[in-house]
Amino acid sequence: MNDQHLSVDDMPVFTKLRMTAFGEAVIDIANDPTYDQWSFSRKIRHALEQETAARAERRVLKLLKASRTPNPAACVEDIHYLDGRNINRDLIERLAACRWIDRTHNLVILGKSSVGKSYLAQALVNAACRRDYTARYFRLDDLANQLAVYQRHDAGRLTFLTGVHTCELLVLDDFLTTPITGETAAELLNILAAREGRGSTVVTSQFDPEDWYRSLHDAVIAESILNRIVSTAELVQLDGPNMRRHGHETATE
For 43-84, the pLDDT digits (tens) are 888 888 877 777 888 899 999 999 999 999 999 999 988 877
Report d(CA 63, CA 72) in Å as an integer: 10
pLDDT value of position 73 = 95
- Give tens-digit pLDDT for 103-127: 999 999 999 988 899 999 999 999 9
- Could you tell me the residue ranges of all domains in the chain? 8-66, 68-252
CB 111 within 8 A of CB 241: no
Greater confidence (118 vs 157) lies with 118
Share of the chain above pLDDT 70, in %: 88
CATH architecture for residues 68-252? 3-Layer(aba) Sandwich (3.40)
CA distances from 191 to 11, 76, 194 (A): 47, 28, 5
Q: Which of 187, 175, 188 is nearest to 214 (CA)?
A: 175
Sheet (strand 135-139) strand order:
135-139, 169-173, 200-205, 106-110, 233-237
The per-residue pLDDT for 40 is 85
Res 68: pLDDT: 96
The b/e string for 55-94 (b: 16+ C-beta within 10 A; e otherwise) is eeeeebeebbeebbbeebebbbeebeeeeebebeeeebee
Q: What is the pTM of this model?
A: 0.80
Would the pLDDT of 128 be above 70?
Answer: yes
How do residues 7-55 score in pLDDT, each as one tens digit? Answer: 667 677 767 767 776 777 778 888 888 888 888 888 888 888 877 777 8
